[in-house]
C-alpha cells in the first residue's frame, strides 16, 4: 500500500530547488549579513539597481576622463 | 525518436529557451537555479546556433579576416575550455572522482546570452551610427548612453557567470572569487593572443 502524499509535488520541487545548494558561508557573521544585504536586490529585478549604477559610473568616468571616453566608445564600437 | 517527436522537442526547447532568456533579466538567481537542474541538451545547441547566425550577420556588416565558421569554432573552443577549467577546479577542490559535465554545459552556454546581446546591439549600432564618435553634444550623449549600456550588460554578465560557477561547481563566495581571478589570469593573455591573430578584438566569452 502506497503512503499518502503529505505535500503537493510543487511544494516538494520548490524545497528541492531551495536546498539544491548549501547557503554561502563567508566565515563571519558580519560578512554573511553584508553578503545577504548586497545580493538580495540582485536576485530579482537586478536592472533596477544595475541601470542607475551603470549610468552613474559612465557619468563619473566622463567627468574624470573627459574626451578619453569618446575614444574608448569608438574603440568599443570597432570591437565586434 | 521519430521526426514528429524531434520537431516537438525542438519547439518545446525553443519556448523554454526564450522564456529563460527573458527570466534571466527578471530573476537571474531563480532562473539559473532552474537551468542548473535542467537535462535538456537542445537549449545549448539553440544558443550556439544563434551565435553562429550572429557571426554570419556580423561578417555581412564588416569584413573579417576569418570566415564566420572559424570564429564560431574558436567560440566553441573558448566555451569548452571554460567548462573544462571549472570542472577541473571542482574535481581538485572538492576531491571528487568524477563530475557531471551537463550542468556545466547548460549553465555556461547561458552565460553567453549577455555577450551575444552586447555584440548584436554593437553590430546594429555600428551600422546605424558608424564610428568614430565626435565631440559634439549628440556624439557625447550617444557615448554616455553606449557606455552605460555596456557597463549594465557587463554587470549582468558578471551576475550570471557568478551564478553559473556557483551552481555548477557548488563553490562558496570566496572560492568563486579565487577561481574567477585564476580564470582571468589565463583569459587575459589568451584574449591578447586572439587579438594578435586577428580573430577577435573583444573575445566572445
Residue A3 has pLDDT above 70, yes or no: no
CA-based nearest distance A39→chain B, Å: 10
Tell me the C-alpha distance between A33 and B154, whole Å: 26
Angle at A12 between CA A11 and CA A17, to 5 degrees: 95
The pLDDT value recorded for residue B177 is: 95
Q: Residue A41 domain-assigned?
A: yes
> Do residues A61 and A69 make contact, with C-beta atoms less than 8 angstroms apart?
yes
Predicted pLDDT of residue A80: 80
Select the residue of B34, B139, B151 nearest A58 (Cβ to Cβ).
B151
* Domain range enclosing A62: 9-77
pLDDT at site B101: 93
Would residue B177 be called left, alpha or beta, if left means φ above 0 and alpha means ψ between -120 and 50 degrees? alpha
Q: How far apart (Å, rounded) are the C-alpha atoms in residues B40 and B37?
A: 9
Q: What is the pLDDT of residue B202?
A: 85
Residues B44 and B77: beta-carbon distance below 8 Å? no
- Sequence-separated (6 or more) residues with CB below 8 Å from residue A48: A41
pLDDT digits (tens, 9 = 90+) for A12-46: 877 777 777 888 888 889 999 999 999 999 999 99
Mean pLDDT by runs of 10 across the 205 residues of chain B is 84 94 95 90 94 93 84 95 96 89 95 96 91 86 95 97 95 94 95 89 84
Q: What is the pLDDT of residue A4?
A: 63
**Listed residue (B61, B139, B75) closest to B109, CA to CA:** B75
Number of domains forming the structure of chain A: 1
Residue A23, C-beta contacts closer than 8 angstroms, at least 6 positions apart: none
Residue B202 lies in a domain: no
Q: Which residue segment(s) compose the domain that B58 sits in?
A: 3-196
pLDDT on residue B187? 94
Structural domain count of chain B: 1
Distance separating alpha carbons of residues B92 and B100, to the nearest angstrom: 14
Q: How far is B119 from chain A (nearest CA, A)?
A: 6
Asked if the Cβ–Cβ distance from A50 to B29 is below 8 Å, we say no
pTM over 0.90: yes
In this complex, how many residue pairs, one in chain A and one in chain B, have their CB atoms less than 8 Å apart?
Answer: 110
- Region A61-69: mean pLDDT is 91
Does residue A22 form part of some domain? yes
For range A55-66, the mean pLDDT: 94
Is A1 among the domain residues? Answer: no
**A42 at the B interface (CB within 8 A)?**
yes
Q: State percent of chain A over pLDDT 90.
A: 54
Does A2 fall in a domain?
no
- ∠ CA(B125), CA(B127), CA(B133), 5° rounding? 60
What is the separation, in whole angstroms, between the first and last Cα of chain A? 63
Nearest-CA distance B165 → chain A (Å): 12
Helix (H) or strand (E) holding B123: helix B112-128
Local structure of B94: helix, strand or coil: coil
Rounded CA separation A56/B148 (Å): 8
Could you identify the residue written with the cell 547566425?
Answer: B53
CA distance B195 to B203: 8
Q: Specify if A47 maps to a domain.
A: yes
CB B37 within 8 A of CB A17: yes
pLDDT value at position A23?
Answer: 84
Rounded-to-integer distance, Cα A43 and Cα A46, Å: 6
Residue B204 lies in a domain: no
Task: Note the pLDDT of residue A2.
Answer: 59
Cell numbers representing residue B113 in the block:
546570452
- CA-nearest residue to A36 within chain B is B173
- Nearest-angstrom CA–CA distance, B117 and B139: 23
Q: Does any domain span residue A62?
A: yes
Q: How far apart are CA B173 and CA B202, in angstroms?
A: 27
Amino acid at each position: 500500500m502506497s503512503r499518502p502524499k503529505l505535500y503537493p509535488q510543487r511544494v516538494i520541487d520548490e524545497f528541492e530547488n531551495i536546498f539544491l545548494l548549501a547557503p554561502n558561508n563567508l566565515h563571519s557573521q558580519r560578512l554573511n549579513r553584508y553578503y545577504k544585504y548586497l545580493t538580495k536586490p540582485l536576485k530579482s529585478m537586478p536592472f533596477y539597481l544595475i541601470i542607475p549604477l551603470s549610468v552613474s559610473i559612465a557619468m563619473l568616468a566622463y567627468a574624470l576622463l573627459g574626451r578619453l571616453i569618446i575614444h574608448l566608445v569608438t574603440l568599443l564600437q570597432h570591437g565586434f | 525518436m521519430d521526426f514528429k517527436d524531434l520537431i516537438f522537442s525542438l519547439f518545446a526547447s525553443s519556448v523554454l529557451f526564450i522564456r529563460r532568456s527573458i527570466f534571466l533579466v527578471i530573476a537571474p538567481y531563480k532562473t539559473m537555479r532552474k537551468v542548473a537542474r535542467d537535462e535538456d541538451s537542445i537549449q545549448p545547441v539553440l544558443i550556439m546556433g544563434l551565435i553562429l547566425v550572429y557571426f554570419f550577420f556580423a561578417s555581412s556588416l564588416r569584413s573579417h579576416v576569418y570566415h564566420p565558421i572559424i570564429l564560431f569554432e574558436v567560440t566553441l573552443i573558448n566555451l569548452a575550455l571554460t567548462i573544462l577549467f571549472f570542472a577541473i577546479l571542482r574535481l581538485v577542490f572538492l576531491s571528487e572522482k568524477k563530475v557531471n559535465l551537463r550542468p556545466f554545459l547548460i549553465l555556461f552556454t547561458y552565460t553567453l546570452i549577455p555577450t551575444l546581446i552586447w555584440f548584436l546591439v554593437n553590430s546594429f549600432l555600428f551600422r546605424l551610427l558608424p564610428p568614430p564618435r565626435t565631440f559634439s553634444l549628440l556624439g557625447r550623449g550617444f557615448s554616455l548612453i553606449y557606455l552605460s549600456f555596456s557597463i549594465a550588460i557587463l554587470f549582468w554578465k558578471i551576475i550570471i557567470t557568478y551564478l553559473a560557477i556557483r551552481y555548477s561547481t557548488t563553490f562558496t563566495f570566496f572560492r568563486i572569487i579565487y577561481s574567477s581571478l585564476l580564470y582571468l589570469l589565463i583569459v587575459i593573455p589568451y584574449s591578447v593572443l586572439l587579438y594578435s591573430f586577428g580573430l577577435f578584438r573583444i573575445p566572445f566569452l
